[in-house]
Amino acid sequence: MAMVCLSDFEAYAKKYLPKIAWDYFAAGADDCTTRDENILAYKRIRFRPRMLRDVSVMDIRTKILGSEISFPVGIAPTGFHQLAWPDGEKSTARAARAMDTCYIASTYSTCTLEEISAAAPGGLRWFQLYIHRNRAASQQLVQRAEALGFQGLVLTADLPYTGKRRDDVRNGFRLPPHMKVKNLERAFEVCKMSPLDPSVTWNDIYWLRSLTRLPIIIKGILTREDAELAVKHGVQGIIVSNHGGRQLDEVPATIDALVEVVEAVGGRVEVYVDGGIRKGSDVLKALALGAKCVFIGRPALWGLAYKGEEGLQDVLRILQDEFRLSMALAGCASVSEIGQHLVQFSRL
Amino acid sequence: MAMVCLSDFEAYAKKYLPKIAWDYFAAGADDCTTRDENILAYKRIRFRPRMLRDVSVMDIRTKILGSEISFPVGIAPTGFHQLAWPDGEKSTARAARAMDTCYIASTYSTCTLEEISAAAPGGLRWFQLYIHRNRAASQQLVQRAEALGFQGLVLTADLPYTGKRRDDVRNGFRLPPHMKVKNLERAFEVCKMSPLDPSVTWNDIYWLRSLTRLPIIIKGILTREDAELAVKHGVQGIIVSNHGGRQLDEVPATIDALVEVVEAVGGRVEVYVDGGIRKGSDVLKALALGAKCVFIGRPALWGLAYKGEEGLQDVLRILQDEFRLSMALAGCASVSEIGQHLVQFSRL
Amino acid sequence: MAMVCLSDFEAYAKKYLPKIAWDYFAAGADDCTTRDENILAYKRIRFRPRMLRDVSVMDIRTKILGSEISFPVGIAPTGFHQLAWPDGEKSTARAARAMDTCYIASTYSTCTLEEISAAAPGGLRWFQLYIHRNRAASQQLVQRAEALGFQGLVLTADLPYTGKRRDDVRNGFRLPPHMKVKNLERAFEVCKMSPLDPSVTWNDIYWLRSLTRLPIIIKGILTREDAELAVKHGVQGIIVSNHGGRQLDEVPATIDALVEVVEAVGGRVEVYVDGGIRKGSDVLKALALGAKCVFIGRPALWGLAYKGEEGLQDVLRILQDEFRLSMALAGCASVSEIGQHLVQFSRL
Amino acid sequence: MAMVCLSDFEAYAKKYLPKIAWDYFAAGADDCTTRDENILAYKRIRFRPRMLRDVSVMDIRTKILGSEISFPVGIAPTGFHQLAWPDGEKSTARAARAMDTCYIASTYSTCTLEEISAAAPGGLRWFQLYIHRNRAASQQLVQRAEALGFQGLVLTADLPYTGKRRDDVRNGFRLPPHMKVKNLERAFEVCKMSPLDPSVTWNDIYWLRSLTRLPIIIKGILTREDAELAVKHGVQGIIVSNHGGRQLDEVPATIDALVEVVEAVGGRVEVYVDGGIRKGSDVLKALALGAKCVFIGRPALWGLAYKGEEGLQDVLRILQDEFRLSMALAGCASVSEIGQHLVQFSRL
């Protein structure tokens, strides 16, 4: 079977992953409306391509928070990579480094931060954090990440409680016994009373700031009001995200929310987006609407499920080729030429 | 089979109820457009969730006409509960009391008001009235309800004649011989020439007012003009309703009509809504758009069909959990924080 | 099988008519977009029903060009009724008279005007005319109709050539040998070179006017510009029609065009509409948007196919009952209370 | 099987062509959204037909760049006609001449320009050019075309690189060994490193102008900005095209882009459109929105696949008949009467 586009990897993963793992990765909250809208919303955006520009030399590199990456697609934080591939997050880290892009490692990794670092020394990595009731545990994680050379701290803001994912409830989803949320092993066990702290507020950004010199990126912002608060509280970046449609269902698609957030931020901090990216042209649309970079979640897991590190590289390479081609066909030879003039919202 | 969301109860009821009973409960008028629109309209509303608010302590209680209920979901008046469960409305009353919410008992109950009261003493109950040609019968019902401790009188305004529900016509629907519309037994028989009075007008509100000290809530209002008239004629509450899409087909979905009614009423009386509530997040949307409380019709019947009192409690508990979670994920710790800023209408 | 709504008659006709006849009646031009849009457009209109009005006494009678009919639904001109029922247009005439409404007999009838008149003496009938290349033949038809007591002359304006109905081409549709376009028998044969005159212009209204004292109604108008011309040329009525979607495909649904025509006409002449009426509530919508009366085409043929005169009466009786009920549920006790305030266009 | 409309030819071609050839002709880029939108967008346009105009004498001829054609439909440039019919582009040329219309021969023909010319001497033909890295090869092609009597030079602007057509990748599409891109045989081989020059810019229009006295038509323009540049750089015509949805996916449908381009051009040069034409009424819509003529791509190939030259004539004749009928039913007796007043965009 030829792996031509990301849907091919999705089909593979659906066929070969254990149902409980597939369901967990695929799950959306409630009716999965937002999960699906993330994809559909891209289809409502039309390009306004420009012709007869010299696109013989293409430059698709960009920078996020000062670090250069080979193209504006990174790996979003998702949990439990061992469900997709035995080496888990170690493979993810290797693939991201091989493709010269950024990997945001999740708190809920099945490898430790140390294992991830050791697997791909020198790779560009950020660490994703949930703030726990046990603040000491969170502090320890942040400081381990900084010490290990992670270059950004991503605070997930949209999970005071876990969304209702019906299939996970039906399946009684929990990690198989031989997998562990290793980063937290000593601090507390997963899957009992939630260790996450639902009392977190904007002031906790100041507490995080006091713990680390890493830039802080906040993930899960969907409104101009919260974007304004994020800037006001001193974050360095915002990831427009609805957690892949896994938290509150029937929030806007991220590409729709991006427009509002970018406008509110007005260039004061970098804005990224995740959710619904399935083609290189989706990346181009997100950049045209103001994202500095996008992050992929489920497609990365499909790549892992296909062939581990190699499969994820395949996914990234396809996105890279498609992104380069889309740019060229739209008349852009470098990322700096991408702008809002390239897109319009369809009447449909 | 795990009962995870309200659709599970619907599937159960469809499978296990006799076809004629299922069809009666499911029926909509004509093409069932409005019945289905009631649900679809909720899906066109998007949340604007706010992040990083302290949602560690959640308060979902509210008050309707001064009575506190455990969360803003009550039981709408529907007829013939014995078609769903042998104990009929007695089970409904017990479940509502157990869940600490309001039950609006229908004139077309298969238990008497006295039986309903005796089944769940002390529960918060309103009585739903159709005005009959035989006004003495209606007067007697109102006064029985007041004497039994019902705390509100709900006048249904949208049924001067019964809507055309094709399946009921095809099935020749009528109550099985062992069931009776017991509240009316002596006054007249059901299913002959309709006993309902199609000459009722707004002035009859004054007549009702003369019969009882109970607050009067009018049910079936869909326009600002009628909302204005309702307030002018001194009702204490309005239920925005299209009778579950069973009367005039192709009227607006209730959640759409709610916006117009709330605006016209301007806080002078409480406004409620029924129709199309299937998830806790639907409740949150209705409250964001100005409803003080919602009422569920068919889902309550599905709960009864599943396991009587216990099944209805399951339905209410699921809605309660989903509502609490939706509030938290939208950034609201108490009902008083819910407002119009939480929602927007989708372009689709 | 219970005949509960018009779709039941459609299903019957589709099952029992010869395919070639069903296809002919069902045919739309090209992709059948407009044929189907005629129906879909009604579904996009929402009622704004008013409650608590005295609807105990309902009056659904109306007048068209001064003649009273039992309710605002007449029979549109369609051809070849013998394809649906052996007695053909004689049955149609009898059913219309029995239901006390207006029947517009087509030039392309399979009975003569004399047979139609004799079948139902005293019935209200209009005659539909195509202007033929052989003007003498047209003149003779008009004068025969007037002499036989037809009370209106309906000029069809949208058929200079016949639309492309693919199924008719595939089927090689033509009348069976034992049926004839009897009104034209001596003048010319059907189904050779078209006898219709594609050079007809507005000035021919004056020519028609010179032939007869009958009121002239023009059928097939879809724009304000043509509505203005129709009034200017002295017609007494306009039927907004797209020929059931059988002529130019992808013109607007008639209920959408009605709004524009009614506005342009400003009450100077009566406006009617045909196409897409399938329920009593559709009639109510058309009247709310300014039609004085609607005409049904295919549903009348389905009624004939079901049981001839009796079947067509069933169809009309169902529409009548549904129309009366819709009026009552919308809060109107007589046709004069119907107005634009009753409807709104859905956002969908 | 009766060939009644263009879909019949499509069905035939799909059934009888080798899968790899069908897939190649049918292919769209990525998700094929734009390929399909090209067709759907026509369905959203509604006619405003005018009645009672004298349409007894119909004139559907028009002129493009001064040459008269029998009706405003030409043959768009598509490659590899021998995949559809053994005689390839020779048959296409004969059919176009027989129907008295314009054929734009592609650089990627499987016959030489000389063979095409010899097959149908005297036919109106334009030559479509890709500018190659080997500029001498392009120059030679342009000059051969001019010498052979081609009357226009069509520069394709939207293919600096080939779009990603998934089926072609899966099929490993390449020409069968016995077919050749004959026009380029000596200059270079197809299907290796792309010979097309992605560095082409607007200035190359001046270079082309220096090579030939033929009028230059630019193909692939979708925005007002590029339309303005085209006029400024001295082209004689613009073909609004998205390459049949085969290049950048999710650009607008051509009929939607046409409106914008026509407005920008303001009559300074002729504007044509290709993509999505499937019925004579589509042609009427394109002309109403300002196109001087349309070009068909895939339908021409289906005609060839059906019966070569004869099949393509069938396709053109059907379009011609449908176009004439649509004009008449819309109230236009000649092409000069077609204007924007004939159409409106549907709300859907």
Test C52 with B251 for CB contact under 8 angstroms: no
Q: Is C81 a catalytic residue?
A: no
Q: For residues D12-41, give the mean pLDDT.
A: 98
Q: Within a 10 A sphere around the Cβ of C118, how many other Cβ atoms?
A: 13
Note the pLDDT of residue D193.
60
Q: How high does pLDDT run on average in chain D?
A: 96
Tallying the residues shown for chain D, one arrives at 348
The amino acid present at D89, given as its one-letter code, is: E
Q: Of B2, B43, B49, which is closest to A248 when you measure between CB atoms?
A: B49
Chain C residues within an 8 Å CB radius of B225: 50
Does the annotation flag C278 for ligand binding? yes
Residue B309 DSSP SS3 = helix
Test B222 with C48 for CB contact under 8 angstroms: yes
Query: In sequence order, which residues have a C-beta less than 8 Å from that of residue A72 and are 6 or more positions away?
Result: A60, A62, A64, A283, A287, A291, A292, A293, A294, A323, A335
Q: Is D30 on the interface with A (CB under 8 A)?
A: yes
End-to-end CA distance of chain C: 34
Q: Is C228 exposed, middle or buried (0-12, 13-18, 19+ CB in 10 A)?
A: middle
Question: Cα-atom radius of gyration of chain C, to the nearest Å?
Answer: 19
Chain C residues within an 8 Å CB radius of D322: 30, 164
d(CA D34, CA A124): 37
Q: Of A31, A229, A251, which is closest to B47 when you measure between CB atoms?
A: A251
Instruction: Report CA torsion sign: C182, C183, C187, C193.
Output: negative
d(CA A28, CA B140): 52
Note the pLDDT of residue D191.
45
Q: What angle do CA C342, C343, C346 make, to 5 degrees?
A: 155
pLDDT beyond 50 at A175? yes
Q: Which of D164, D170, D247 to mutate to test the interface with A (most CBs of A within 10 A)?
A: D164
d(CA A63, CA A292): 8
Give which of C114, C99, C106, C100 is closest to C67, Cα–Cα.
C100
pLDDT beyond 80 at B347? no
Q: Give the strand pairing for D293-296 and D73-75.
A: parallel
Residue B327 has which token pair?
Answer: 């509030």
Note the pLDDT of residue A191.
46
pLDDT beyond 60 at B189? no
d(CA A224, CA A275): 18
Note the pLDDT of residue A33.
98
Q: Which residues of chain C have pLDDT under 50?
A: 190-191
A264-318 residue pLDDT tens:
999 999 999 999 999 999 999 999 999 999 999 999 999 999 999 999 999 999 9
pLDDT beyond 90 at A184? no
Does the annotation flag A204 for ligand binding? no
pLDDT beyond 80 at D187? no
Contact yes or no, B with A (3+ CB pairs under 8 Å): yes
List chains touching A (3+ CB pairs under 8 A): B, D
Q: Within a 10 A sphere around the Cβ of C11, how many other Cβ atoms?
A: 13
Contact yes or no, D with A (3+ CB pairs under 8 Å): yes
d(CA C11, CA C228): 40
Q: Which residues of B are annotated as a binding site?
A: 24, 77-79, 106, 128, 130, 156, 165, 219, 241, 243, 246, 274-278, 297-298
At residue D186 the predicted structure's pLDDT band, cuts being 50, 70 and 90, is: low
d(CA C163, CA B304): 57
pLDDT beyond 80 at D347? no
Does the annotation flag C213 for ligand binding? no
Note the pLDDT of residue D239.
98
C76-104 residue pLDDT tens:
999 999 999 999 999 999 999 999 999 99
Note the pLDDT of residue C191.
45
Does the annotation flag A267 for ligand binding? no
Give which of A31, A34, A274, A29 is closest to A162, Cα–Cα.
A29
Q: Which of D320, D329, D332 to mutate to test the interface with C (most CBs of C within 10 A)?
A: D329
Note the pLDDT of residue C271.
98
Distance from CA of C83 to the nearest CA of D (A): 24
Domains of chain C (ranges, CATH numbers): 6-46+55-337 (3.20.20.70)
**Is-contact D207 D185, C-beta < 8 A?**
no
d(CA C211, CA B35): 54
Q: Is B60 on the interface with A (CB under 8 A)?
A: no
In B194-297, where does DSSP find H-type helix? 203-211, 224-232, 254-265, 280-288
Q: Which residues of D are annotated as a binding site for FMN?
A: 77-79, 106, 128, 130, 156, 219, 241, 274-278, 297-298
Query: CA neighbours within 13 Å on the CB side: how many for A223?
Result: 19
Helix (H) / strand (E) element for B330: namely helix B298-330
Test C157 with D51 for CB contact under 8 angstroms: yes
Q: What angle do CA D334, D338, D341 make, to 5 degrees?
A: 150
Q: How high does pLDDT run on average in chain A?
A: 96
Distance from CA of A219 to the nearest CA of B (A): 10
**Is-contact D286 D292, C-beta < 8 A?**
no
d(CA C276, CA C38): 5
Helix (H) / strand (E) element for B74: namely strand B73-75
Report C:189-228 residues touching B (Cβ under 8 A).
none
Note the pLDDT of residue B191.
45
Note the pLDDT of residue A229.
98
List chains touching C (3+ CB pairs under 8 A): B, D
Give which of C341, C218, C201, C320 is closest to C270, Cα–Cα.
C218
B236-283 residue pLDDT tens:
999 999 999 999 999 999 999 999 999 999 999 999 999 999 999 999
Q: Percent of chain A, pLDDT > 90?
A: 94
Give this complex's ipTM. 0.97
C2: nearest CA in chain B? B170
Give which of A17, A96, A29, A27 is closest to A296, Cα–Cα.
A96
Contact yes or no, C with B (3+ CB pairs under 8 Å): yes
Q: Is C261 on the interface with D (CB under 8 A)?
A: no
pTM for the full predicted model: 0.97
